[in-house]
Structure 1
Amino acid sequence: MTDAAPPPDAGGDAAPAQESFMDRLWPMLRMLCFYYAITSGMNLFMPQKQQQRPRDSVSDPQVAATTSNAKTRPLQLLENNFHLGDLFNLRVYVNSQEQFTFAPDEDTAAVEKEQEQLRWYQDALTYDATPNPEREDGVWIQEMNVSVDEHLLSNGSVYAHVFLTKEGYSPNPTDSSYDNINSIYRTLELTVFRPPPKIVKKRNLLESQVEEEEEQKEVEAVEDGQVDGEGAYISMWKPAFYVNVVLDHSQYSVRQPPPPFVSTEMDVDQEAGLYKPVLFMNEFWMLEEQLIPVNDTLTALPLQISFYTLPMYKYALYTQMEQNFKNQEATGTSSKRDTDNMKSMFIETNPYLLAVTMVVSLLHSLFDFLAFKNDVSFWKNQKSLVGLSLRTIVLNTFFQLVIFLYLMDNDTSWLILVQSGIALLIDIWKIKKAVVFSRDADNKLVVSGVESYEDSPTAEHDRVAVAHLSYVLYPLIIGQAAYTLTYGVHKGWYSWVVSSLTSFVYAFGFIMMTPQLYINYKLKSVAHLPWRAMVYKSLNTFIDDLFAFVIKMPWMHRLSCFRDDLIFFIYLYQRWKYPVDVKRTNEFGQGPIEEDEGAAANAIEGAPKAGNVESEVVASEDVAAAVNETEDIPPPPSTPPSTEYMMSKRGKEPALDDDADIDISRLSAVDRDAIMARVTPDDSTPPDAFALAQNEIRREMIDRGIQPKGFYNDDAARLQEEFNREHAAEKDSRVQQKVQFAAKSYLRETVHRRRLEREKEVREEVEEIAKNPQLEVWLGLAKADETPKHADLRVNSIGARALCKTLAFTHSLRSLNLSRNALDDATGKWLALLLKRNTSLRRLELESNCLGPLAVKDLSEALSSNESLEYLNLESNPLTDDEKDFSGVAALGNMLTKNKTLRTLNLWRTRLGSEGGKQLALYIARNSSLVCLDVGNNRIATADAVSLDVQLKKNRVLFEEQQLQQLKYREAQWRAADKERERQDNLAKRQEDEEWMEKRKLEREQDRTFLEEERKRLLKVEEDRLRQVAARKAAEFAAKAEMEKKKKKKKAGGKKKKK
Structure 2
Amino acid sequence: MGLANHLLGVAFAGYIAHVCHTFYTMAKIPLLEEGPEGALYAVKSSIPESILLDMDVYVSNRPGVRGRESIPWTAMARVATFENVTYDWRGNDGKDGSEEVKLSGDWIPDRFRSKNESLFAHVVLRKAGVKGHRKASNLLDHRVMDLSSFMIPQEERDGRHYLLDALVNRTYAEEVENSPAPVPRLSVPKKMEVGLIVETRPMDVRKLYQKGLGGFVDQKTRKLYLPIFMNTHATPRDEFEPVPAAGSPDALPEMTISFHKVGMSYWMLSESLLQGFEHMEDVMKVNEYDLDSFKMLLSGSSGPWRLLVVYGVSFLHILFEYLSLRSDFKFFKERTSFEGLSRGSIAMNMVMSLISCLYVLEQDESRIVLYFLVIRIVFSGWKLMKMSKSKDASLAELEEMQGITNDEVRCMKYLGLLLLPVVVAFCTYRLVNYKFRSWYSFLILSLAACSEVFGFVVMTPQVFLNYRLKSVEHLPWRALSYQACNTFIDDVFTLVIRMPEIHKFSVFRDDIVFIICCYQRWIYSGRRHQEEEEAKAAAPPPATDPARKKAE
Give the TM-score taking structure 1 as reference length.
0.37
Map of 2:227 onto structure 1: 279
Higher strand share: 2
TM-fit CA distance, 1:196: 2.8
Percent identity over paired residues: 17
Q: How far apart are the structure 1 equivalents of 2:510 and 2:462?
A: 13
Q: How far apart are the structure 2 equivalents of 1:122 and 1:355?
A: 29
Map of 2:397 onto structure 1: 458
Map of 1:398 onto structure 2: 348
Q: How far apart are the structure 1 equivalents of 2:414 and 2:193?
A: 58
State which structure, 1 or 2, has the greater radius of gyration over its C-alpha atoms: 1
Select 1:137's aligned residue among 96, 121, 139: 96
Q: How far apart are the structure 2 equivalents of 1:467 and 1:214?
A: 50
Structure-2 change in CA distance of 1:454 and 1:497 (3 Å): farther
Query: SS in structure 1 opposite 2:195?
Result: strand
Map of 1:882 onto structure 2: none
Q: How far apart are the structure 2 equivalents of 1:308 and 1:532?
A: 45
Q: How far apart are the structure 1 equivalents of 2:261 and 2:488?
A: 43
Query: SS in structure 2 opposite 1:279?
Result: coil
TM-fit CA distance, 1:405: 1.3
Q: Is the 1:129–1:138 Cα contact (8 Å) retained in structure 2?
A: no
TM-fit CA distance, 1:530: 4.2
Select 1:374's aligned residue among 321, 327, 352: 327
Indicate whether 1:160 and 2:113 are aligned. no
Structure-2 change in CA distance of 1:471 and 1:212 (3 Å): farther
Segments of structure 2 that go 5 or more residues without pairing to the other structure are 1-11, 27-38, 431-440, 530-552
Q: How far apart are the structure 2 equivalents of 1:414 and 1:480?
A: 31
Structure-2 change in CA distance of 1:93 and 1:462 (3 Å): closer
Give the aligned residue type for 1:462.
M
Query: SS in structure 2 opposite 1:156?
Result: coil
Query: SS in structure 1 opposite 2:228?
Result: strand
Select 1:262's aligned residue among 207, 213, 224: 213
Give the aligned residue type for 1:136.
K
Give the aligned residue type for 1:398.
M
> CA deviation digits over 1:644-674, x for unaligned, max 9?
xxxxxxxxxxxxxxxxxxxxxxxxxxxxxxx
Map of 2:74 onto structure 1: 114
> CA deviation digits over 1:900-949, x for unaligned, max 9?
xxxxxxxxxxxxxxxxxxxxxxxxxxxxxxxxxxxxxxxxxxxxxxxxxx
List aligned pairs for 1:14-29, cutoff 5 A: none
> CA deviation digits over 1:692-746, x for unaligned, max 9?
xxxxxxxxxxxxxxxxxxxxxxxxxxxxxxxxxxxxxxxxxxxxxxxxxxxxxxx
Select 1:493's aligned residue among 443, 461, 476: 443
Structure-2 change in CA distance of 1:310 and 1:557 (3 Å): closer
Map of 2:519 onto structure 1: 569
List aligned pairs for 1:123-272, cutoff 5 A: 128-129=87-88, 133=92, 136-138=95-97, 145-149=106-110, 151-152=112-113, 154-164=115-125, 178=136, 184-197=141-154, 209-210=167-168, 214=172, 217-221=175-179, 224-225=180-181, 227-228=182-183, 233-238=184-189, 240-249=191-200, 255=206, 257-258=208-209, 260=211, 262-264=213-215, 266=216, 268=218, 270=219, 272=220
Query: In the comparison of the two structures, how many residue pairs are matched?
Result: 471
Query: SS in structure 2 opposite 1:235?
Result: strand
Map of 2:243 onto structure 1: 294
Map of 1:846 onto structure 2: none
Q: Is the 1:147–1:299 Cα contact (8 Å) retained in structure 2?
A: no
Q: How far apart are the structure 1 equivalents of 2:66 and 2:323?
A: 65
Structure-2 change in CA distance of 1:507 and 1:371 (3 Å): same
Query: SS in structure 2 opposite 1:370?
Result: helix
Structure-2 change in CA distance of 1:213 and 1:341 (3 Å): farther
Give the aligned residue type for 1:467.
N
> CA deviation digits over 1:954-1007, x for unaligned, max 9?
xxxxxxxxxxxxxxxxxxxxxxxxxxxxxxxxxxxxxxxxxxxxxxxxxxxxxx
Structure-2 change in CA distance of 1:219 and 1:99 (3 Å): same
Map of 2:271 onto structure 1: 319
Query: SS in structure 1 opposite 2:142?
Result: strand
Query: SS in structure 2 opposite 1:157?
Result: coil
Q: Is the 2:281–2:288 Cα contact (8 Å) retained in structure 1?
A: yes
Query: SS in structure 1 opposite 2:213?
Result: helix
Map of 1:806 onto structure 2: none
List aligned pairs for 1:517-596, cutoff 5 A: 518=468, 520=469, 530-537=476-483, 552=499, 553-555=503-505, 557-578=507-528
> CA deviation digits over 1:567-621, x for unaligned, max 9?
3433454455557xxxxxxxxxxxxxxxxxxxxxxxxxxxxxxxxxxxxxxxxxx
Give the aligned residue type for 2:479.
A
TM-fit CA distance, 1:513: 5.0
Q: How far apart are the structure 2 equivalents of 1:512 and 1:473?
A: 11
Give the TM-score taking structure 2 as reference length.
0.65
Give the aligned residue type for 2:242.
P
Q: Is the 2:287–2:367 Cα contact (8 Å) retained in structure 1?
A: no
Structure-2 change in CA distance of 1:130 and 1:381 (3 Å): closer
Structure-2 change in CA distance of 1:252 and 1:464 (3 Å): closer
Q: How far apart are the structure 2 equivalents of 1:465 and 1:193?
A: 59
Query: SS in structure 1 opposite 2:107?
Result: strand
Indicate whether 1:432 and 2:393 are aligned. no
Q: How far apart are the structure 2 equivalents of 1:141 and 1:458?
A: 68
Greater RCO (CA < 8 Å, at least 6 residues apart): 2
Structure-2 change in CA distance of 1:186 and 1:387 (3 Å): closer
Give the aligned residue type for 2:119.
V
Q: How far apart are the structure 2 equivalents of 1:240 and 1:426?
A: 42
Query: SS in structure 1 opposite 2:154?
Result: coil
Q: How far apart are the structure 2 equivalents of 1:255 and 1:151?
A: 44
Structure-2 change in CA distance of 1:316 and 1:397 (3 Å): same
Query: SS in structure 2 opposite 1:337?
Result: helix
> CA deviation digits over 1:512-550, x for unaligned, max 9?
5545654x46xxx87665454355446666666766766
TM-fit CA distance, 1:129: 1.4
Q: Is the 1:100–1:161 Cα contact (8 Å) retained in structure 2?
A: no
TM-fit CA distance, 1:373: 1.7
Structure-2 change in CA distance of 1:252 and 1:87 (3 Å): same
Q: How far apart are the structure 2 equivalents of 1:242 and 1:453?
A: 64
> CA deviation digits over 1:779-806, x for unaligned, max 9?
xxxxxxxxxxxxxxxxxxxxxxxxxxxx
Cα RMSD (Å)? 5.2
TM-fit CA distance, 1:95: 2.9
Select 1:510's aligned residue among 460, 466, 476: 460
Q: How far apart are the structure 2 equivalents of 1:487 and 1:166?
A: 57
Query: SS in structure 1 opposite 2:64?
Result: coil
Q: How far apart are the structure 1 equivalents of 2:449 and 2:101?
A: 47
TM-fit CA distance, 1:407: 6.3
Give the aligned residue type for 2:267.
Y
Q: Is the 1:244–1:281 Cα contact (8 Å) retained in structure 2?
A: yes
Indicate whether 1:84 and 2:61 are aligned. no
List aligned pairs for 1:713-752, cutoff 5 A: none
Give the aligned residue type for 2:62.
Q
Q: Is the 2:339–2:474 Cα contact (8 Å) retained in structure 1?
A: yes
> CA deviation digits over 1:67-94, x for unaligned, max 9?
xxxxxxx968766554335566655554
Query: SS in structure 1 opposite 2:267?
Result: helix
Map of 1:95 onto structure 2: 60
TM-fit CA distance, 1:371: 3.2
Give the aligned residue type for 1:193.
F
Query: SS in structure 2 opposite 1:186?
Result: strand
Query: SS in structure 2 opposite 1:99?
Result: coil
Query: SS in structure 2 opposite 1:236?
Result: strand
> CA deviation digits over 1:38-68, x for unaligned, max 9?
xx9xx87x999x99x99xxxxxxxxxxxxxx
Structure-2 change in CA distance of 1:399 and 1:366 (3 Å): same
TM-fit CA distance, 1:461: 1.9
Structure-2 change in CA distance of 1:563 and 1:247 (3 Å): closer
Map of 1:422 onto structure 2: 375
Query: SS in structure 1 opposite 2:330?
Result: helix
TM-fit CA distance, 1:429: 0.9
Structure-2 change in CA distance of 1:511 and 1:297 (3 Å): farther
Structure-2 change in CA distance of 1:334 and 1:578 (3 Å): farther
